[in-house]
Amino acid sequence: MATSEVQTVHTGADKAKLAAALALLVAAFVAYYLLSAQGAVAKWGALLVGVIAAVAVFAVSESGKQLIAFGRDAWRETKKVVWPARKEAIQMTAYVFAFVFVMALFLWLTDMTVSWLFYDLILGWRD
């Protein structure tokens, strides 16, 4: 029997890093709006510096390290995928379109048949 353990133990320092990252992010947005009279360069500069600082603080936290490790693993797995050749991709796309067309035609014919059966033959209603 396989067991998987999920550990979400965070230290006080790690929680402080996350709180600091959140505070930096909020401060960046506040600075962006407070510096509206200073011009676009000051506004966007303050926002950019604040967001970069928040990301940097988050990256050194345990949650940030786990997110970065997850991203690396996902990228590594994406590289392992064997992508189909162009000809195969076009053929599979054509198969899908043909199947969708056939199914749409089948459903339309079924709908028309059931409609004709109920409204014309059974109920005697005419459209």
C-alpha torsion sign, points 69, 73, 76, 78: negative
Kindly report the number of other CB atoms within 10 A of residue 17's CB atom. 20
| Average pLDDT score over residue span 97-106 | 98
Q: Are 22 and 30 in contact (CB under 8 A)?
A: no
Q: For the segment 39-64, what is each residue's pLDDT rounded down to a tens digit?
A: 899 999 999 999 999 999 999 999 99
Write the CB contacts of 11 (distance below 8 Å, at least 6 apart in sequence). 62
Which structure tokens are listed for 18? 């996350």
Q: Which amino acid, 105?
A: L
pLDDT tops 60 at residue 127: no
Reported confidence tier of residue 120, pLDDT bands at 50, 70, 90: confident
